[in-house]
A and B are shown apart, each in its own frame.
Chain A
Amino acid sequence: MKILVPVKRVIDYNVKVKVKSDNTGVDLENVKMAMNPFDEIAVEEAVRLKEKKVCDEITAISIGSSKSEETLRTALAVGADKGILVETQEEAQPLEVAKILMEIINKNKPDLVLMGKQAIDDDSNQTGQMLSALLNWPQGTFASKLEVKGKSLNVTREIDGGLETLNMDLPAIITTDLRLNEPRYASLPNIMKAKQKPIEKITPKDLNIEIKQRLKTLKVTEPDKKEAGIKVDSVEELVSKLHNEEKVI
């Protein structure tokens, strides 16, 4: 079985994001970047399937600037076999990302696509579902458990009321949630080995895809700041404030 894992280079989740003073976006200069955490979970799941001999080849793919090669190297260091970099200076929105992935899939014919449920920069939570619709493949979103049995797949999903299990046949699209696994760190020898693994570089144009900004950014602003309140010394004082002044209890 072949698995494709799309990985996005995003601002590290620990970085305090700052809005640019001209309100055109957020400041990405000299900020630490990393693989989208949900994509780390997707890579880990693929590697575990490989270790269980369910999967024999993992391809990581990233769409973005030449720097996204770093993100692919990270995936290769954890256990992906090869990478594809679709290089573009323009920001590709989820529908375009899904179309690029569809073209790649039509060529590479993976059996399973494992990807993040959400990129923590745009917080869109769209690409997997869009890709699944474009390919007319089944989708198992927000997965917290995956069981592959031959050509069939049981996926447990985290939904608002609890958990739900779906069954589907391969090929399928799975998007990961936080509880699916705990990603490992790459070891130093594996980081070195990853430098030798192949990365194919293409552009959206090679796939006949034009990147359009269907959603135009008009303005990016800081949210209203909430002022820190007061510290109270006793529970009695707290309850009195909540009851008598705020009237919320």
Chain B
Amino acid sequence: MSVLVIIEHDNQNIKNSSLNTITAAKEIDNSVHAVVLGENCSKVSEQVSKCDGIEEVFVADDLIYKNHIAENISPKIVELADKYSHILAPSSTFGKNIMPRVAALLDVAQISDIVSIENKDTFVRPIYAGNANLKLQSTDTKKIITVRTTNFEATKINGGNGKITKIEKNEDPNLSKFVKNELNKSDRPELTAAGIIISGGRGMESGKNFNLLEEIADKLKAAVGASRAAVDAGFVPNDYQVGQTGKVVAPELYIAVGISGAIQHLAGMKDSKIIVAINKDEEAPIFQIADYGIVGDLFKILPELSKEIDKINS
């Protein structure tokens, strides 16, 4: 049986998270299908059909799917589920919101946040904030899975020639109504797809001081992240949070500034290739996982860092 991937998108473009999820699907089976539920989303289904390895894309285009309301989307996935042994979505807030509903409606367990695939029914996922890895075997006939995107490469949007099949919408369950959203627009790369991330913690002292990080981020084409303490204090919006209960990232370079390195923060960034820590406390736990550490006052170090980057950029 084939594998079905639920595509995350914004009605305009496929999200990177879906590209990683397609790669995971291909590890499970050669036959990968996808479903796009959205409104005016034909561009998305075209992108998906071009993804390397996609055989068929189902698309239902209707207002009820515009805002990805979980109660609206999950019945459609359940309708499609018959033909599939595995149904995958990214472990983003999109996937986390929808997939447990699908699992419950199908009366199967969900396997959250897989980081590797041993075989068709055996998977590895982190538990206890990444302090342990659990290898588990699913005894259900159908596997409902969310994928930790940082552990799978992104599939390319070329080379594929999947068939696009229109499908009908399901009835509107009329449970939740969309009121509004406040999305943070930024010209910087998305946290979960960035090659370089510079994150600030409580040590930044204010939202205004994040300018120091933004300046460096712009020079390095980096994304800006934060610890929970920085978000709770209102320095930056919630979607900056990296960690066990925020975003999981694994860039080539992660620079932690004024972040102590609590286990909940490490859970979200410890798989980064190179970790740099800037902290005035030489005992800060972040230094235990940093490849390069500088002990000192961030307000002195950041301007210097900005200048040194100018030197190599020029």
Contacts and interface: CB of A to CB of B under 8 A. Distances in A.
Interface of A: 11, 13, 16-17, 19, 26, 38, 93-95, 98, 117-118, 120-134, 136-142, 144, 154, 157-168, 177-179, 213-223, 226, 228-232, 234-236, 238-239, 241-243, 246, 248-249
Given A138-B175, A167-B176, A229 B291 contact: yes
Contact of B305 (A16, A239, A246): A239
Nearest to B308: A239
Contacts of A130: 100-101, 103-104, 110
Contacts of A132: 71, 101
A138 B71 contact: yes
A73 to B, nearest CB: 24
A25 to B, nearest CB: 8
B42 to A, nearest CB: 22
For the residues of B in contact with A, the DSSP-based class is: mixed
For the residues of A in contact with B, the DSSP-based class is: mixed
A123 B126 contact: yes
Nearest to B222: A249
6 contacts: A11-B128, A129-B96, A133-B74, A167-B177, A221-B133, A236-B304
A166 B176 contact: yes
A214 B182 contact: no
A162 B183 contact: yes
Residue of B130, B179, B275 contacting most chain A CB atoms (<10 Å) = B179
Contact of B127 (A121, A137, A241, A248): A121
A140 to B, nearest CB: 7
B253 A242 contact: yes
Given A125-B96, A141-B97, A166-B179, A214 B305 contact: no
A159 B239 contact: yes
Q: 10 smallest A-B Cβ distances: which pairs?
A: A129-B100, A229-B291, A130-B104, A138-B175, A126-B100, A17-B131, A133-B101, A214-B109, A239-B308, A133-B104
Contacts of B294: 231-232, 234-235, 238
B180 to A, nearest CB: 5
Interface of B: 67, 69-71, 74, 92-94, 96-105, 107-113, 122, 126-140, 173, 175-184, 192, 196, 220, 228, 231-232, 237-239, 244-245, 247, 252-253, 263-264, 270, 273-276, 282, 287-295, 301, 304-305, 308-309, 311-312
A238 B237 contact: no
Contacts of B133: 220-223
A130 B104 CA distance: 5
A120 B132 contact: no
A122 B170 CA distance: 33
Given A136-B173, A179-B238, A249-B312, 10 more contacts: A123-B113, A124-B112, A129-B99, A130-B103, A134-B104, A167-B178, A228-B289, A228-B290, A229-B291, A231-B287
A232 B292 contact: yes
A94 B146 CA distance: 15
Contact of B238 (A144, A218, A238): A144
A220 B134 contact: yes
Contact of B130 (A94, A223, A236): A223
B179 A178 contact: no
Contacts of B122: 218
Contacts of A164: 67, 178, 180-182
Nearest to A163: B182
A214 B301 contact: no
Given A229-B293, A238-B276, A98 B238 contact: no
